[in-house]
Amino acid sequence: MFLGQVKTYVLSGGVATLNISGKSYLDYSPSKSIGRKGIIVTEDFGELSENQFISAGINAPTSDTAFKYSISIADLVPGATLQITSYVDSIAKTWKYDSTHLLTDGTDEIQGDSFYVEYKSNQKANKGFYMNFELVEASTSSTFSILGIVLCLSFALLY
């Protein structure tokens, strides 16, 4: 399910299909399954504009889902902000970026049952925001790595 006023473009099978709707819940909630791919972009993306804004939420099928994303462009001029929030069992984890706290390059993966992305230009002229995303099964390696670290720390504290 997508929450907020968003434009959603879905790639289905190898053929690009453009879906434009004002009823995002009714049109997109049946396709929130693993393997779902899409993009999230600001309305004036690519154009110098003071009105670059996007606030989008995606509900995943289960909390064992990961939100894999790659941000192609986040024009974080002074005043513009980006916030990414993930929820697992109603517990939020938030990442905030701006001109002094920049994004790292590459693809990232966040586990959760819902994800929210908010980009605001705050009336500062910029070229906007563009992000690719995919819903994937959460990798078990990260779970085992965290479990291993906790066990090692617990063992070290005991001795």
**Burial track 109-132 (b if 16+ CB lie within 10 A, e otherwise):** ebbbbbbbbbbbbeebebbbbbbb
Q: 91 or 157: which carries more pLDDT confidence?
A: 91
Which residues, including other chains, have CB under 8 Å from residue 138's CB and lie 6 or more apart?
64, 65, 66, 109, 111
What pTM was computed for the model?
A: 0.69
Residue 108 has pLDDT above 60, yes or no: yes
Q: What share of the chain in percent tops pLDDT 90? A: 32
- pLDDT tens-digit profile of 113-128? 888 999 999 999 999 9
Domains by residue range for the chain, with CATH: 2-158 (2.60.120.290)
- What's the pLDDT score for residue 12? 61
